[in-house]
Amino acid sequence: MFMLAFGKMNFRRWYGLRRERSVERQTYLSVLPLTKKIRVYMTPLAVLFFAASFVTANFTLYAFAEEKGLGTITGTVKAKKAKFLKDTIAYIENVPNAFEPPKEHALIDQKNMTFIPRVLPILKGTTVDFLNSDLVQHNVYSPDAVADNFNLGTWLKGETRPFTFNKLGIASIRCNVHVDMLAYVLVLQNPYFARVNIDGSFSIPGVPEGKYTIKLWSERLKAQDHHVEIKAGASTTVEFDLK
């Protein structure tokens, strides 16, 4: 009985309080000047509007990115002997875009009387540092116009001399102290190239969608070019036969 009365009383108090508050709010709103009323009602609407715009903008950006999507080239290369796969480079001949060369320099080392790596693919405009890691003196020069027939001179262990490759093509790199020393720099138009793995596989990810010619470069052998269409979010497969 007591509990019931207490409960009832409590409920009435609570109800009363709620009604009072509601009335207070109504009164508060009714006495506010129009501009303030607008502000009170518009604030939540504005927040909603901005939230909706943010979501829409993000969605649009996402859809746009999909539209200019990127695909992957997945390739396999066959050769009579697996050793011919070494230092084979797969690349896209031309991508209609201007590409900024990387600020980081590439490196060709001279170690144990050998240029390492033997084949270096780079984007046009890249600087290559030539390092001597041997105890003997080495020279670095190129007889090719692609590399402006440069001769960097002859130097000792630990020293590095740079050269920036600004012309497209293949530059052979030699040392006039050791005539057997030979390397190649492939100066390419775009950054979409890959070194073929020893099992003959290669992958070029992040290629903008479009139609391209894919080429293979190897020191001794040749392979027929492939014409492919890259589609967003898809992987395009190519097979080369090195002969």
Q: Nearest approach, Cβ of 184 to Cu ion (angstroms)?
A: 16
Q: Which two tokens stand for residue 178?
A: 């050791």
| Euclidean distance between CA atoms 10 and 111, whole angstroms | 92
Binders of Cu ion among residues 181 to 220 (CB under 5 A) are: 181
**CA dihedral over 50, 54, 56, 61, signed as positive or negative:** positive
Question: Which of 116, 170, 177, 182 is the binder for Cu ion (CB under 5 A)?
Answer: 177
Residue 124 or residue 178: which is nearer to Cu ion going by CB? 178
Q: Nearest approach, Cβ of 146 to Cu ion (angstroms)?
A: 21
- CA–centroid distance for 134 within its chain: 35
Q: Nearest approach, Cβ of 135 to Cu ion (angstroms)?
A: 12
174 part of the interface to Cu ion, by CB under 5 A: no
Question: Which of 77, 175, 185, 187 is the binder for Cu ion (CB under 5 A)?
Answer: 175
Size of the site for Cu ion (CB under 5 A): 5
Residue 99 or residue 155: which is nearer to Cu ion going by CB? 155
Q: Which two tokens stand for residue 232?
A: 């967003």
| Euclidean distance between CA atoms 3 and 27, whole angstroms | 36
The CA-based dihedral angle spanning residues 29, 30, 34, 36, taken in that order and rounded to the nearest 10 degrees: -20
The residue ranges that bind Cu ion (CB under 5 A) are 138, 175, 177-178, 181
